[in-house]
Amino acid sequence: MDCDEVDSIIPTFAIITHGSIIEANLSPEKQDILKNVRLFSLAGDVQESHHSLDDENTFLQNLNDLFQMDLDVPTADIIERYSNNIRPVYQHKIQSMTNMNSKNVCRIFDNIPIDKMLGREAPASGLFYKMMECIIPPIIGVFLISIHKKISDNQFKLIYPLAGGPPSNLNLFNIKDFTTFANMSPFNKPFPAKLFDLSTPIPSRIVDPTKIEMVEQNKSITNEERNVMLQQQRDELAQITLLWDVTISADRKYINAIRMSTLVKAIKDIIGTNSKINLLDYSCTNQTLRMPRSHEPYLRKFSSPPFKYILPKWGGKYTNKSKNRRHVKSKKNKKSKNKNKNKRRTKRNSKKLYMHDRNYPI
């Protein structure tokens, strides 16, 4: 994908949200929607992404410095250079903090093989956390970095933000900013009101919490029967999610969550078909219970083999890379002593997989 035609419009967005995979076997319609969309994925694989508030500020500042000017190279070249620069830094960070796979981080996709749910965190609870959000507002949303127009070969004129003006980043999760984006020249379009019509509640991770609890506590059924019944709930959730597009707040001021393909469709309805879109995605790319089981084999298009399809587990431990041989024996002893303890912890954490969504919608 690149901007071959003169007069092409190329908006660039940064996705700093919560995220999860909800489809991996895309319909022809969704494939067409995601055509001419370049995706930079920080996670780069079916896994979480890790970054702090300071990192998120740095992401936006760096992208503003790279894109908010007239360009004499295609945006694809800038994204590739950016990916190559950030990759070793991010690899070092996750290798020092987690046991995640760092091989595939910071990848670029010209053909997007998945669809994701992108969303905001649940509102803060408790006086302390609400005060902290007032002092240090969280950076979360889909931020407009720049809009360029190709005026000739290797000449891309900046049309947002205005050249010479201060850095600016509209947040499309804010309906007011989304409307500003739609209204600006050369688009002069209204806010895509169809999103209001499509808005429905975020599919709950537990379709029926009471039923799940009854199944888990029912001692008259076998583990096999229990697993079958819980799996039926997962399948029901996945089918509900396939029909979901967007969730807008009750006051119609914010997008709480949106399907990535629905967001792209809304953007294309504004900027027109003679356009290319850059998405720099810093959100997690986990497989979740919302994705149909039948889609699991299609994740190979996104993840480099070998890949094992394992639903995310809560908890876990960091790897200790120390080469001090004096600790080898003690580690083995600790491992045997903690074997039963870890089993109990795994059982508790498996329940948290269902509880998580009651507080965090993604």
Measured distance CA(280)–CA(59) in Å, rounded: 10
Cα dihedral 22, 119, 77, 181 sign: positive
| Per-residue pLDDT, 304 | 59
pLDDT for 186-223, tens place per residue?
999 999 999 999 999 988 755 666 677 777 788 888 88
Instruction: Please give the radius of gyration of the chain, using alpha carbons only, rounded to the nearest integer.
Output: 22
The string of DSSP codes covering 11-23 is EEEEEESEEEEEE
Q: Is 290 exposed, middle or buried (0-12, 13-18, 19+ CB in 10 A)?
A: buried
| Per-residue pLDDT, 127 | 53
Across 263-356, where does the E strand assignment appear? 277-281, 286-287
The packing angle between helices 209-217 and 223-242, to 10°, is 170
Pairing of strands 115-119, 255-259: antiparallel
Percent of the chain with pLDDT over 90: 50
Q: How many CB atoms lie within 10 A of CB 107?
A: 18
Percentage helix, strand, coil for the chain under 3-state DSSP, each rounded to 5: 40, 20, 40
| Per-residue pLDDT, 299 | 85
Residue 240, token pair as written in the block = 């509900």
Q: Which residue has the tokens 């890949």?
A: 307
Q: Which positions ≥6 away from 325 have C-beta within 8 Å?
A: none
pTM, rounded to two decimals: 0.78
Q: Is 93 exposed, middle or buried (0-12, 13-18, 19+ CB in 10 A)?
A: middle
pLDDT for 271-290, tens place per residue?
997 789 999 999 999 888 88
Q: Which residue has the tokens 């804010």?
A: 174
Q: Where do the domains of the chain lie?
A: 9-202+244-310, 313-362
Q: Which residue has the tokens 């948290």?
A: 352
Pick the residue with more confidence: 287 or 127?
Answer: 287
Q: Find the mean pLDDT for residues 7-30.
A: 94
pLDDT for 238-268, tens place per residue?
999 999 999 999 999 999 999 999 999 999 9
Pairing of strands 277-281, 9-16: parallel
| Per-residue pLDDT, 173 | 97
Cα dihedral 336, 341, 347, 350 sign: negative
Amino acid at 317: K
Residue 68, token pair as written in the block = 């908010």
| DSSP bridge pairs for 142 | 15
| In the predicted structure, residue 121 carries a pLDDT above the cut 90 | no
- Identify the three-state secondary structure at position 205: coil
Whole-number Cα distances in Å, 252 to 118, 130, 140, 175, 199:
17, 21, 17, 7, 10
Query: Is residue 146 a contact partner of residue 11, using CB atoms and an 8 Å limit?
Result: yes
Measured distance CA(132)–CA(221) in Å, rounded: 47
| Per-residue pLDDT, 319 | 35
Measured distance CA(201)–CA(257) in Å, rounded: 9
Q: Which residue has the tokens 């019944």?
A: 229
| DSSP bridge pairs for 147 | 11, 160
| In the predicted structure, residue 15 carries a pLDDT above the cut 60 | yes
